[in-house]
Amino acid sequence: MIDNVIKIFKDIGSKDFRILTGIELGMKHYEWVPMEELQKFTKYPYGKLQHKLSLLMKNNLIVGTYVPYEGYQIYFDGYDALALNTLVKRGTISAIGDEIGVGKESIVHEAIKESELAIGETTLVIIKFHREGRTSFTQVKRVREHLSDKEHFSWIYAARLSAKREYDLMVSLYPKVSVPKPIDHNRHAIVMAVAKGSLLSKTRLLQPEWFLDEIISQIGKAYSLGVIHADLSEFNIFVYECGVQFIDWPQYVGLDHPNADELLKRDVFNVLAFFKRKYDIERDVDDVVAGIKHSTSIVE
């Protein structure tokens, strides 16, 4: 899908972006944003607007309906285009590269970031587009709680809220807890540093005990800042020569969450089960959890 956006991005003009923005704003209140609202917002004449809308539909950036009235919705690709446009304009990224991961609720690509100094080298970064809201009921529920009565729920709010939640948390953890450096975010997209090393699930460690200690120590650091990852496993942990990095934070919970203890225990359990399975290292879940809580109380 993003491939489509990348292909046509250079052909999307400022007028198209204005129409997309109009639909995005209208979706706060309407499931299908009425044509009249778009006319008011863009001030384009009816014929011209309709022509542009049909091209946007052809390029899969929006979808339209004529029943019970003429109205439009933004499509993921259109929302991706809006976020990319903002990130490019801000100078955060200048190009987008290969897809490197598709999760249940996101699409992850490499991207190029220009150096802050005009003469410097470009760097490779990661852009994660959130995709929540279409299938996840908990997400829908969470978003509804943030919306006023007048506002209409749409997946773009779920995806945007989730991205903001993840980005804000990464900013608050970095660099105390080892996470990729957060760089920027807009709408449902987050730009961050490339995680160091490789995924724990895909790596054969030569000193597994040392890495397990590192992982437990990072869980403890997050805990001491009041945060539990709540989806930790070998698929969300990167390992490199000097340590580990945790990714994928949108579902984190605070220590005041009603299931905080359970979620902490599950994170620890997932990690220990993996080390048992792959490296035959045995540690007691309750002991490790107690250790994490104990070391936190010493820090306080």
Q: Contact residues for ligand ATP (CB under 6 A)? A: 100-101, 103-106, 108, 126, 128, 180, 192, 194-195, 199, 235-236, 247-248
Question: Measured from the CB of residue 219, what is the shortest distance to Mg ion in angstroms?
Answer: 16
Question: Measured from the CB of residue 8, what is the shortest distance to ligand ATP in angstroms?
Answer: 24
Q: Which is nearer to Mg ion, 53 or 230 (CB)?
A: 230
Q: Which is nearer to Mg ion, 20 or 244 (CB)?
A: 244
Q: Find out whether 142 and 161 touch, Cβ atoms under 8 Å.
A: yes
Tokens of 81: 């285009």
Residue 286 annotated among the catalytic residues of the structure: no
The interface partner of residue 180, options being Mg ion, ligand ATP, none and the CB cut-off 5 to 8 Å by kind, is: ligand ATP
For 184, list phi and psi in degrees, rounded to 5. -165, 165
Using CB atoms, what's the residue nearest to ligand ATP? 103
The interface partner of residue 87, options being ligand ATP, Mg ion, none and the CB cut-off 5 to 8 Å by kind, is: none
Length in residues, the chain: 300
The interface partner of residue 270, options being ligand ATP, Mg ion, none and the CB cut-off 5 to 8 Å by kind, is: none
Residues 211, 241: Cα–Cα separation, whole Å: 10
| Intra-chain end-to-end CA distance of the chain, in Å | 47
Residues 265, 232: Cα–Cα separation, whole Å: 10
Q: Other C-beta atoms within 10 Å of 271: how many? A: 22
Residues 231, 256, 284, 287: which is the catalytic one? 231
Question: Measured from the CB of residue 248, what is the shortest distance to ligand ATP in angstroms?
Answer: 3
* Four-residue CA torsion sign, 36, 37, 41, 42: negative
Question: Measured from the CB of residue 242, what is the shortest distance to ligand ATP in angstroms?
Answer: 16
Q: Which is nearer to ligand ATP, 224 or 236 (CB)?
A: 236
Tokens of 237: 């942990």
Residues 230, 217: Cα–Cα separation, whole Å: 16
Q: Which is nearer to Mg ion, 103 or 291 (CB)?
A: 103
> Which residues are catalytic, by number?
231
